Chain A
């Protein structure tokens, strides 16, 4: 199976975010970037499928130069090669325009299976994989935890709301968006890191999408507080004493 995994690089989770001076995005200077979490699970699923059925895993990431560190990590974990779609202006694209750029790069590889994360940690759109399927004319399934090869294609385990699941059968080629938690993530081994140096990362200038953006992010701001939260301050011991007092007299659980 030839499997392509679309990976996004995002600011690390605990990062202290500040709004950029033009209020159109965040201040990016000084941030640490990591692989988008569900994408790590997508890569893991791809690597396990290759280990069972043979084939090739290709990591694809669109973004500025910094994203090559995330692609190197994917190679160190076991991806066979990587494609960097170089672009400094992805931030201004909407989902459709970004998916058009990614679809162009994917078409020339004609993979059997395309995996994305179900959602990016920064934009949180949860759309790119589904739009890719539409643009490539392929069937898809979302929120996938597990993939199994069948005689006619694949069978996936999909997450539904409130603890329910469902199996879906799909023919190949297909697009899946992967939910976190389906597998245990592997670490890159020393050997893997060494090997990654010999693997190919192809850099391609991202094409300018033919269609203009239909949706525009115009202002970033801090959420307004909706609830009056009573903040407790002091030393840890003082805070603990105040909490006990609340638990006793107001919450009445002590």
Chain B
């Protein structure tokens, strides 16, 4: 029987306890669904930590491969690629599926290349065929992808956060199988140090009930007072998309998104933000989302409760005025 192999990732809490990360559980749900549609098995791989593997024994998986080795304790692309290459050669899965994390971005494209394949990255839906849907142009368009040519090597897929549901993960029983990997110090060419965080935080975006967030639609730093006045009228905290922080108009501690903060305020008012996935993951849990954008096809409207298609330079001043007079 052919197999869909899902490569999982762990998250560590403050006490250094490992758990399978949420996006990995989503990837497992995607893997199970793909396997079911192909009449295949679904197996999982856990690298580095046996306690995380234990968590998966209650899921409907044909196997949980546990890859333990001192050189897998700290992630390096060389160790991961070598270990997974050995597992894939030994078990010959038909598909290898990953969660689309920063770590996966760092090694999976090279692993696929090692098998003469291209990774279909950041997949948001899997349809019969199998057909894989992913975004183009930062979410403005979608595209369908297929495998082409021979399927003598596995196909490689990574799935986007939030696209598959953890609730769909089928329970069952799975046996853990230790898989011996061969790694030597000389295989590892890069030397990582401990992760760190920059400067102390002076704002707590996560605690703010109202956030006014600004994107590149504001065009120039001189225009920033426009949104500052709006935030003041609403008693809101100010936040921004990445390009605003890249430009230095706001400090990075005000950045919302996958490399910034995750927020879920009562109100998130997005001004001139297109809604790329890396931004959406940081704010789509907000209770109410209002978006002002001149492009009616901007992906921000996918998650907005209220949308205004129009010029922020006309709408924001009117809105600030209306709020101020409503309050007085």
Q: How far is the CB of B318 from chain A (nearest CB, A)?
A: 4
Q: Is the CB of A220 within 8 A of B102?
A: no
Q: Is the CB of B209 within 8 A of A254?
A: no
- Which residues 137-193 of A sit at the B interface, judged by CB distance below 8 A? 139-143, 159-171, 179-181, 184
Q: How far is the CB of B321 from chain A (nearest CB, A)?
A: 7
With contact pairs A142-B105, A181-B242 given, residues A19 and B113 touching in the complex (Cβ less than 8 Å): no
Q: How far, in angstroms, from A251 to B290 measured CA to CA in the complex?
A: 10
Q: How far is the CB of B163 from chain A (nearest CB, A)?
A: 11
Q: How far is the CB of A207 from chain B (nearest CB, A)?
A: 17
Q: Is the CB of B136 within 8 A of A220?
A: yes
Q: How far, in angstroms, from A222 to B302 measured CA to CA in the complex?
A: 12
Q: How far is the CB of B240 from chain A (nearest CB, A)?
A: 12
Q: Please tell me if A94 contacts chain B, counting CB pairs below 8 Å.
A: yes
Main secondary structure on chain B at its contact with chain A? mixed
Q: Is the CB of B148 within 8 A of A215?
A: yes
Q: Is the CB of B136 within 8 A of A251?
A: no
Q: How far, in angstroms, from A220 to B143 measured CA to CA in the complex?
A: 4
Q: Is the CB of B109 within 8 A of A95?
A: yes
With contact pairs A94-B118, A127-B118, A130-B106 given, residues A221 and B142 touching in the complex (Cβ less than 8 Å): yes
CB neighbours (8 Å) of A139 from chain B are: 78, 189-190
**Segment among A46-54, A80-88, A117-125 that sits at the interface with chain B:** A117-125
CB neighbours (8 Å) of A126 from chain B are: 105, 109, 121-122
Query: Which of B108, B258, B291, B301 contacts A161 (CB under 8 A)?
Result: B258
Q: Which residue of chain A has its CB nearest to the CB of B192?
A: A168
Max chain A C-beta neighbours (<10 A), residue from B120, B136, B245, B303:
B136
CB neighbours (8 Å) of A134 from chain B are: 109-110, 113-114
Q: Please tell me if A227 contacts chain B, counting CB pairs below 8 Å.
A: yes
Q: How far, in angstroms, from A96 to B144 measured CA to CA in the complex?
A: 18
Q: Is the CB of B189 within 8 A of A219?
A: no
With contact pairs A181-B242, A223-B142, A230-B307 given, residues A212 and B102 touching in the complex (Cβ less than 8 Å): no
Q: Please tell me if A6 contacts chain B, counting CB pairs below 8 Å.
A: no
Q: How far, in angstroms, from A127 to B119 measured CA to CA in the complex?
A: 8
With contact pairs A166-B194, A251-B288 given, residues A243 and B302 touching in the complex (Cβ less than 8 Å): no
CB neighbours (8 Å) of A254 from chain B are: 234, 323, 326-327
Sample (9) of A-B pairs whose CB atoms are under 8 Å apart: A96-B117, A125-B122, A142-B106, A166-B194, A214-B118, A220-B143, A231-B309, A251-B288, A254-B326
Which residue numbers of B lie inside 8 Å of A, CB to CB?
77-78, 101-102, 105-110, 112-114, 116-122, 131, 134-149, 153, 189-198, 209-210, 216, 234, 242-243, 245-246, 248, 252-253, 258-262, 266-267, 274, 287-288, 290-291, 295, 297, 299, 301-310, 314-315, 317-319, 321-323, 326-327
